[in-house]
Amino acid sequence: MASTSTAEHPVRSAAELETMRESGRVVALALQAVKAAAVPGVKLRDLDDIARTALHEAGAESSFFGYAPAWAPTPYKGVLCLSPNEVVVHGPPTGRKLADGDVLSIDFGAAVDGWHGDAAITVIAGTSTEEDRRLVAATEEALAAGIAAAVPGATLLDVATAIDAVAKRHGFAHLPDHGGHGIGRAMHEAPFVPNQPLAGARDVRLEAGHTIAIEPMLLAGSPEYRTARDGWSVVTRDRRRAAHAEHTVAVTDDGPVVLTAP
Ligand code: MF3
Ligand code: CO
């Protein structure tokens, strides 16, 4: 999400976490189905249909369809965000066909009984280059590091520092002004969860029962970006590629629990 201010951060009960685990499972299963279909020649819109069917079969609601944040010109029309190559995040499903070697971020959100799950993976369609594989692997590693840091007593500065260390080690930039978020009754809740050690992150301390979506977005080139004419797609100015990985995570006394794990 785009960065916002941080406010209160609710603690979830065991029953609420169980429902969030259910929506998380729906998200994970749909992402697996979409991943399997993300081959050269497929239309992005067909991938959206696959996710829509998965939602339907699970009896879950889309977190994305109809979403209308203040910064967007029109309500969101898809159930997936499909962001190829130079599109970093928030790419609406279109008639664009995946080409061999395309790097595609697939982002999906679902709600069960009003409790949301949000996750993203980046896949490479067909033949991949070493450089693209490195970008995707670094993004997954950054997500894993952020998750591992999400323990009771840690602050969002600890989470951001863990994510940022991985990005730095691999020499990739972050998408500025964007990061993860609290999640629960709404897909986007306070607090903003930065990927870089920003001022203010130290003031947000994690407790058991907090639920956050962690989502590093790493760039192969320079961090300048713009919003495309569709009003949604976040695109790198140098048109170099990006990768994105996201999980919804519960902070617990037994350590971080990935609610969007398959
Ligand atoms: N995971 C994305 C985010 O947190 C989901 C965007 S949903 C959309 O920003 F509806 F805004 F596209
Ligand atoms: Co998100």
Q: Which of 2-16, 72-86, 106-120 has the lowest mean pLDDT?
A: 2-16
Residue 198 lies in a domain: yes
CATH of the domain at 190: 3.90.230.10
Measure Cα distances from 167 to 77, 84, 202, 254 in Å.
32, 20, 20, 27
Predicted local confidence at residue 3, as pLDDT: 65
CA–CA gap between residue 29 and residue 24 (Å, rounded): 9
- Specify the residue with its C-alpha closest to ligand 1, atom 8: 64
Mean pLDDT over 39-63 rounds to: 98
Ligand 1 neighbours by CB, cut-off 6 Å:
1, 64, 67, 76, 81, 90, 107, 109, 118, 120, 181, 215, 246
Measure Cα distances from 63 to 36, 82, 109, 201 in Å.
22, 15, 5, 26
Q: Which domain holds residue 238?
A: 14-255
Any known ligand binding at 131? no
Q: What distance in angstroms lies between residue 101's CA and the mean position of ligand 2's atoms?
A: 25
Number of folded domains that form the chain = 1
Predicted local confidence at residue 4, as pLDDT: 54
Mean pLDDT over 150-171 rounds to: 98
Predicted local confidence at residue 5, as pLDDT: 43
Residue 2 lies in a domain: no
Q: What distance in angstroms lies between residue 185's CA and the mean position of ligand 2's atoms?
A: 14
- Specify the residue with its C-alpha closest to ligand 1, atom 10: 64
Measure Cα distances from 260 to 26, 95, 182, 237, 256 in Å.
8, 28, 14, 31, 12
Residue 130 lies in a domain: yes
What is the atom index within ligand 1 of the atom nearest the CA of 120? 1
pTM for the full predicted model? 0.97
Any known ligand binding at 210? no
Residue 214 lies in a domain: yes
What is the atom index within ligand 1 of the atom nearest the CA of 1? 9
Mean pLDDT over 26-41 rounds to: 98
The model's pLDDT over 173-199, given as tens digits with 9 standing for 90+, comes to 999 999 999 999 999 999 999 999 999
Residue 69 lies in a domain: yes
Ligand nearest to C-alpha 92: 1
Ligand nearest to C-alpha 91: 1
Taking 60 as the threshold, does the pLDDT of residue 11 lie above it?
Answer: yes
Taking 60 as the threshold, does the pLDDT of residue 54 lie above it?
Answer: yes
Predicted local confidence at residue 7, as pLDDT: 58
- Using the 8-state DSSP alphabet, how is residue 222 labeled? -
Any known ligand binding at 57? no
CA–CA gap between residue 103 and residue 115 (Å, rounded): 30
What is the atom index within ligand 1 of the atom nearest the CA of 64? 10
Residue 3 lies in a domain: no
Predicted local confidence at residue 121, as pLDDT: 99
What is the atom index within ligand 1 of the atom nearest the CA of 92? 12
Asked if residues 46 and 38 have their Cβ atoms less than 8 Å apart, the reply is no
CA–CA gap between residue 76 and residue 132 (Å, rounded): 28
Any known ligand binding at 22? no
Q: What distance in angstroms lies between residue 181's CA and the mean position of ligand 2's atoms?
A: 6
Residue 105 lies in a domain: yes
Asked if residues 187 and 63 have their Cβ atoms less than 8 Å apart, the reply is yes
Any known ligand binding at 181? yes
Predicted local confidence at residue 2, as pLDDT: 78
Residue 95 lies in a domain: yes
The percent of residues in the chain predicted with pLDDT above 90, rounded, is 97
Helix (H) / strand (E) containing 46: helix 44-58
The model's pLDDT over 96-139, given as tens digits with 9 standing for 90+, comes to 999 999 999 999 999 999 999 999 999 999 999 999 999 999 99
The model's pLDDT over 216-250, given as tens digits with 9 standing for 90+, comes to 999 999 999 999 999 999 999 999 999 999 999 99
Mean pLDDT over 76-101 rounds to: 98
Mean pLDDT over 135-152 rounds to: 99
